[in-house]
């Protein structure tokens, strides 16, 4: 009964239910230790307590978000006959996101621009990824001829793979999922 009331309330005021979910890599995609500006930060101590396969799993190098837009940029696109379409699909400039101080200053001076909005709603490297994907896919109402649909589907599949990797992390095999469970149980029993 409460679910029906909540769904009716959400239908009455759809703006109140909107929210942006940011993606975060969970703890397993973080290395056990990492360096930032020469300072060592540790996520997990005493790695030698784990089995060798678990040690290999948690120390494996994974793709990070800053590496994904360049990987999409080297994918094949639809060719030179679609340059005018890709030109229409370009986003506004802005390679980096503004920091909080800069955003407050722009807001107080009524200087809100497109890069301000990207900084407000996008994660790091997300805007760059969307830029690259839009320069590979044909969208915005343009349609690929039926003879070229196979190539367009291949491009969509490749870009979907990198989008999924960006938002959800690298896919794990069944063996890696089992090792992940072993790591979680070992980490919980250690703490």
DSSP assignment of 98-113: PPHHHHHHHHHTT---
Residue 156's pLDDT is 93
Question: Are residues 183 and 56 in contact, defined by beta-carbon separation less than 8 angstroms?
Answer: no
Nearest-angstrom CA–CA distance, 40 and 37: 9
The whole-number pLDDT of residue 154 equals 95
Q: What are phi and psi of 137, to 5 degrees?
A: -90, 160
pLDDT of res. 8 = 47
| Residues 80, 153: Cα–Cα separation, whole Å | 18
In this structure, the number of other CB atoms found within 10 A of the CB of residue 85 comes to 20
The structural domain count of the chain equals: 1
- What tens digit of pLDDT does each residue of 15-41 get? 444 444 444 444 445 667 777 777 887
Q: Please report the pLDDT score of residue 7 as a whole number.
A: 46
Give the structural domain span for 99: 2-190
Mean pLDDT by 10 residues, the chain (191 residues): 46 45 48 74 78 84 85 90 84 76 87 82 84 87 88 94 88 87 82 64
In the chain the first and final C-alpha atoms are separated, in Å, by: 41
């Amino acid at each position: 009964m409460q679910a029906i009331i909540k769904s009716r309330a959400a239908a009455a005021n759809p703006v109140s239910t909107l929210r942006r979910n940011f993606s975060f890599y969970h703890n397993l995609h973080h290395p056990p230790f990492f360096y930032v500006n020469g300072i060592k930060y540790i996520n997990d101590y005493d790695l030698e307590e784990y089995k060798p396969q678990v040690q290999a799993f948690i120390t494996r190098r994974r793709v990070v978000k800053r590496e994904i837009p360049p990987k999409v940029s080297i994918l094949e696109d639809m060719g030179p006959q679609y340059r005018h379409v890709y030109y229409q699909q370009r986003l506004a400039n802005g390679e980096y996101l503004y920091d909080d101080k800069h955003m407050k200053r722009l807001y107080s001076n009524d200087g809100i621009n497109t890069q301000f909005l990207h900084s407000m709603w996008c994660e790091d490297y997300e805007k760059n990824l969307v830029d690259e994907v839009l320069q590979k896919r044909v969208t915005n109402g343009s349609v690929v001829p039926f003879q070229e649909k196979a190539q367009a589907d291949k491009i969509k599949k490749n870009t979907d793979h990198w989008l999924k990797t960006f938002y959800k992390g690298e896919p794990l095999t069944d063996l890696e999922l089992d090792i992940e469970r072993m790591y979680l149980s070992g980490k919980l029993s250690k703490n």
